[in-house]
């Protein structure tokens, strides 16, 4: 049975059809929420709230997007609502995260960027994972969601733009800024650890 | 493009994701070949995504899975009460 048929059955009250529809997406929503919040408890709440909301709104789903994309948009709204109550420091201007872009813009040839070589040689795998999680968590929400949807969920830039309610150009800009901010964060860590391994 | 680093910045992501025109790609690669800072920037931006993807995907906790089925069933029965 294809997705369209399952949706039609679910909209008529078939619970098993609804379960089949959400089964493939539950883990994805959980991972999305986990990356966005950095908290298992918050991620669990977001999965539950997303699926409950999907039941509430199942009759409003018109099939204009894939069912999974529709679920993501609900999950993103749930995540945004939850994170809105958290630290306001999340709103730090992105420019503060972009020393490398700024330095290339204005001081070309006067700086030399740290060459990463192989980060796996600098850090243990688990340490590396923790550092990456911290770097992602430190991103402002609007950049974090664009980056996660693009590179973890592997959605096209058009789908990312649709989900975050922005133009393709704006989605591209957010993804790039997130990527550069993460690069800068990781660069500092690798540079510190490179010094440590050379001692 | 004149080949200044700043001219290429906005296209870096499209380049890294293989989504720029062949002409611009050629021009950018020529620049990267001549500019060490841009080469380092491109290499590290590329690694940023692959490093992030190395992080493991978590499975839905079993306890949540069991709890969810009950909560969803209850919610469903309220929305679609049996006649």
Comparing alpha-carbon positions, the chain A residue that sits nearest to B35 is A109
Which residues have C-beta within 8 Å of that of residue A152, sequence separation ≥ 6? A31, A32, A35, B52, B53
Of the candidates B6, B51, B65, the beta carbon closest to that of A104 is on B6
pLDDT in tens, chain A (199 residues): 899 999 999 999 999 999 999 998 999 999 999 989 989 999 999 999 999 999 999 999 998 889 999 999 999 999 998 887 665 444 445 455 444 555 554 444 455 677 887 788 777 777 888 888 888 988 888 899 999 999 988 899 999 999 999 999 999 989 988 998 898 888 888 888 776 555 4
Q: How far apart are CA A94 and CA A170, in angstroms?
A: 14
Q: How far apart are CA A38 and CA A77, in angstroms?
A: 16
Q: State how far residue B27 is from chain A, nearest Cα, in angstroms.
A: 18
Report yes or no: A152 at the B interface, CB cutoff 8 Å: yes
Q: Which domains does chain A have, with CATH numbers?
A: 3-84 (1.10.1740.10), 88-198 (1.10.10.10)
Query: What burial class does residue A72 get, using C-beta atoms within 10 Å of its C-beta: 0-12 exposed, 13-18 middle, 19+ buried?
Result: buried
- pTM for the whole structure: 0.80
Q: How far apart are CA A160 and CA A199, in angstroms?
A: 44
ipTM, two decimals, is 0.81
Report yes or no: B83 at the A interface, CB cutoff 8 Å: no
Report yes or no: A123 at the B interface, CB cutoff 8 Å: no
Report yes or no: A133 at the B interface, CB cutoff 8 Å: yes
**How far does Cα A168 stand from its chain's mean position?**
16
Test the A interface: residue of B7, B44, B72 with most A CBs within 10 Å: B44
């Amino acid at each position: 049975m294809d997705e369209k048929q399952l949706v039609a059955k679910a909209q008529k009250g078939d619970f098993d059809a609804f379960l089949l529809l959400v089964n493939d997406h539950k883990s994805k929503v959980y991972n999305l929420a986990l990356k966005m919040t950095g908290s298992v408890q918050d991620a669990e709440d977001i999965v539950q709230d997303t699926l409950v909301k999907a039941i509430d709104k199942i009759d409003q789903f018109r099939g204009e997007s894939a069912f999974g994309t529709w679920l993501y948009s609900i999950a993103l709204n749930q995540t945004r609502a939850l994170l809105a109550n958290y630290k306001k420091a999340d709103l730090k201007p992105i420019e503060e995260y972009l020393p490398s872009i700024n330095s290339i813009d204005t001081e070309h040839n006067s700086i030399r960027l740290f060459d990463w070589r192989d980060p796996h040689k600098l850090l243990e795998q688990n340490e590396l994972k923790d550092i990456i999680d911290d770097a992602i968590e430190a991103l402002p929400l609007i950049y974090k969601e664009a980056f996660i949807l693009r590179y973890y969920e592997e959605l096209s830039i058009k789908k990312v733009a649709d989900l975050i309610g922005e133009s393709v150009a704006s989605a591209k800009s957010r993804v790039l800024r997130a990527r550069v901010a993460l690069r800068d964060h990781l660069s500092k860590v690798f540079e510190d650890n490179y010094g440590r391994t050379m001692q | 493009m004149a080949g200044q680093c700043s001219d290429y910045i906005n296209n870096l992501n499209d380049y890294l994701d293989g989504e720029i025109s062949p002409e611009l790609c050629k021009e950018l690669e020529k620049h990267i070949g001549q500019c060490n800072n841009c080469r380092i920037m491109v290499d590290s931006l590329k690694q940023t995504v692959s490093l992030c993807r190395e992080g493991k995907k978590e499975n839905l906790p079993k306890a949540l899975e069991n709890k969810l089925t009950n909560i969803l069933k209850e919610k469903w029965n309220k929305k679609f009460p049996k006649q």
